[in-house]
Amino acid sequence: MSESNLRAVVIGAGNAGRGQIAALEHCDVEVVGVASRTPGSARRVARDLGIPHHSTDWRECLEALRPDIVGVATPGDQHAEIVLAALELGAHVCCERPLALEPVQARELWVRARALGRKSCLCAPALFQPQMLFARELIAQGTIGRLRDVECVSSFNWPRYSPLNWQHHLEKGGGRLNHFFANSLAAIHAVVDRPIVWAQGEARNDWGSVPRYDPEIDWSAFYHRNPTEEELEGFEWVEVDADSSYSALVRFGASEDDEGEGETVSALFRHSALNNSWVNDYTAFHGDRGSIHIQGAQFQGAVLVFEGGPTWEERAIPLEIVDALPVEANNDRRNWMTLMAQFVADIRGEEEFASYPTFEDGALYQAIIAAVRQGEAWQAEGS
């Protein structure tokens, strides 16, 4: 199969799997198979999206189809095994977060992909949100002077009675660090465009215990109200161990363009799932002559710029940024498409493509996540 006629298999038939399928098809990659542990899910996705092959056995699917690209969109505890098998079959691999449960395992996958000459992509697409692309452009233009400090703050009311799922358990690859933090860190990393040299923080499990899923219960009703005493008595509670809240400080080292020595950028990441904040989620970039403020969760709100006074000014995202992105109303799906387009362009050997997160980044982020969970400092080798 030539690089211009790429074939793909996606393993996982949930929202992430459907997102990867749409992104691959947007890049003119033929998705020839989908696999899921749940027979109905695999069959339904294959039927809805016109995919010729579906299976409950991902190994059988890979062996039978021998795709050029494998998308991994299963719960996190399955990622490392699937990624390694796909690499050994000669495929390029795009994997959802986390790349692996442990930093050593994540690093091994990166080293193996590099040794086999396979392209790898960590699916952390928030860096292609138009507001972040605009922020990167403004910083590069010197709009706020020399960047010194970043804030990435999120607080929202995670539904207390949301039933048990794989994201509530660390052994399943769950936790907000593995998902929300890794996506945010990849986006900030791209904007700051400097090496990460140090990180420290702490994580907390505010869930404690959650109700076990019961198909007879309309759980969506409890996203907007508290259950009655009678309803509570019908719940079976399960203890969980995944992190729901965290605070992390990440230091970015000096870049080659720095005029002085030892200049760094500090970034604060704060996430809480306890309650909504009076102040909406926001991301801010502070320089020595001004600041950029992006309102809303996951960088999806208005962009405001302060250039020393007297007031903040809302800036429209330039049309050249918007027009260069896929036409897609859903933010997450559009970002998936943009990320996949860069990955596929790299596979095809096209000369111009934007940088995207790889397994090297996935291994780095997993090492930082492990340190934050343990309340320890992480430091890059040689720094």
Q: What is the DSSP letter of 122?
A: E
**Beta strand 92-96 with 69-72: parallel, antiparallel or unpaired?**
parallel
Given a cut of 70, the residues of the chain with pLDDT beneath it are: 1-4, 256-262
Both tokens of 145, joined, read: 């002077």
Same domain? 113 vs 72: yes
What's the CA gap between 352 and 213, in Å, rounded?
A: 47
First to last CA, the chain: 44
* pLDDT for position 226: 87
Q: How far apart are CA 94 and CA 22, in angstroms?
A: 14
Instruction: Render pLDDT for 26-61 as a digit per residue (tens, 0 to 9).
Output: 999 999 999 999 989 999 999 999 999 999 999 999
Among 109, 130, 132, 136, which Cα is nearest to 121's? Answer: 109
User: Is the CA virtual torsion 227, 230, 235, 240 positive or negative?
Assistant: positive
CATH code: domain of residue 95: 3.40.50.720
Q: What is the pLDDT of residue 94?
A: 98
> What is the structure's pLDDT at 1?
45
- What pTM did the predictor assign? 0.95
**Which range marks the domain in which residue 268 is found?**
127-379
Q: Show Cβ contacts of residue 320 under 8 Å, excluding neighbours closer than 6 positions.
A: none
Helix (H) or strand (E) holding 16: helix 15-26
Residues 51 and 96 in one domain: yes
User: Does residue 76 sit in the same domain as residue 141?
Assistant: no
Is residue 104 domain-shared with residue 249, that is, in the same domain? no
The pLDDT of residue 3: 61
Q: Work out how many domains the chain is built from and give that number.
A: 2
Report if residue 170 sits inside a domain. Answer: yes
